[in-house]
Amino acid sequence: MTTATHNRLRLRIQHIMLGLLHAAAAVNMAALSGICLFLAVRGSSALSWEFLTAYPRAMMTEGGVMPCIVGTFLLSCGSMLLVFPAGVATAVYLHEYSGSSRITRCIRFGISNLAGVPSIIFGLFGLSFFVTFLGLGVSLMSGMLTLAILTLPVIINTAEESLRRIPQSWREASLALGASKWQTIVRIVIPAAFPGMLTGCILGLARAAGETGAIMFTAAVYFTPHLPESVFSPVMSLPYHMYVLATSGTDMDKTLPLQYGTALMLIFLVVGMNLLAILLRDRMQRHGRQ
């Protein structure tokens, strides 16, 4: 085979693979658009000011989802406040200090396994450890800790990848100017990698907001007549509220529009929180370039 023939064959294979990637992206976008359109058509009739600000009533067949919105926001954002520093610290240790030792390989193996554990297993762990053993009860704190462990692998992997993208020459230049390794990491490496680390926070936030299995035993309740007064109070959440309406509703015909409306509100909430995080990340990136 001549060099020209080989190059043409390689170019043709490249075009085929790019076409397959574009087709896969189009299928995903079509599926996402179809789901959003379906929920918008079915759930738009339930959206109103009362739906956003009222408590559920009449055995969940009337009212709104205000406590569910507040509970979902507190659970997801609270879990990120707990897990983000721990995930970044773990990534810094793995990439900057540990090298390629056996213990590092064991830690990375454990993180990979943790990422593949079903969320219901995290819920059962949270029930046995946080709720029962530590005595936190079914509470906002138990749910945040459970969600923090669930999203920890995402934060660690994304933070470590962001650290890999920082040129080694930056570290060497800082050390050559007399800075210690700790000063180099804190003042040079982490600020440069921080916008990329926020990407992991965004992914973890989206997953935490949509989880049901991890909170149904640790934080969420069927109904509560008031908003959480402290981190030791139980909460309602949008995913668990949808589960309750779909499985334990007394009048399925009346609750069906509320189910679609709740799903639509969950999408709006996740998209809104992600947009805020993305805007913050982009602002930090622009500030870093300046």
pLDDT tens digits, residue range 136-189? 999 999 999 999 999 999 999 999 999 998 898 989 898 888 888 899 999 989
pLDDT of residue 289: 57
User: What is the C-alpha separation between 156 and 162, in angstroms, rounded?
Assistant: 10
Rounded (10°) angle between helices 102-115 and 140-164: 130
pLDDT of residue 145: 95
pLDDT of residue 84: 93
pLDDT of residue 101: 77
Through-space distance between the first and last CA atoms of the chain, rounded to whole angstroms:
51
Furthest CA-CA distance within the chain = 78
pLDDT of residue 146: 95
Asked whether the beta carbons of 254 and 57 are under 8 A apart, the reply is no
pLDDT of residue 249: 61
Print pLDDT tens along the chain (290 aa): 577 777 788 888 888 999 999 999 999 999 988 988 888 888 888 888 888 888 888 777 788 889 999 999 999 999 999 999 999 999 999 988 887 778 888 888 888 888 888 899 999 999 999 999 999 999 999 999 999 999 999 999 999 999 998 898 989 898 888 888 899 999 989 988 888 888 888 888 888 888 888 999 999 988 888 888 889 999 999 999 888 888 876 667 778 888 888 888 888 888 888 888 778 777 776 765 55
Q: Which long-range contacts (CB under 8 A, 24 or more apart) does 65-70 make?
A: 65/238, 65/241, 65/258, 65/261, 65/262, 65/265, 67/224, 67/226, 67/227, 67/235, 67/236, 68/236, 68/237, 68/238, 68/240, 68/241, 68/262, 68/265, 69/238, 69/265, 69/269, 70/227, 70/228, 70/235
Please provide residue 54's backbone torsions phi and psi, each rounded to the nearest 5 degrees: -100, 160
pLDDT of residue 273: 81
**pTM to 2 decimals?**
0.86
pLDDT of residue 1: 59
137: left (phi over 0), alpha (psi -120 to 50) or beta: left
User: What is the C-alpha separation between 3 and 279, in angstroms, rounded?
Assistant: 48
pLDDT of residue 287: 65
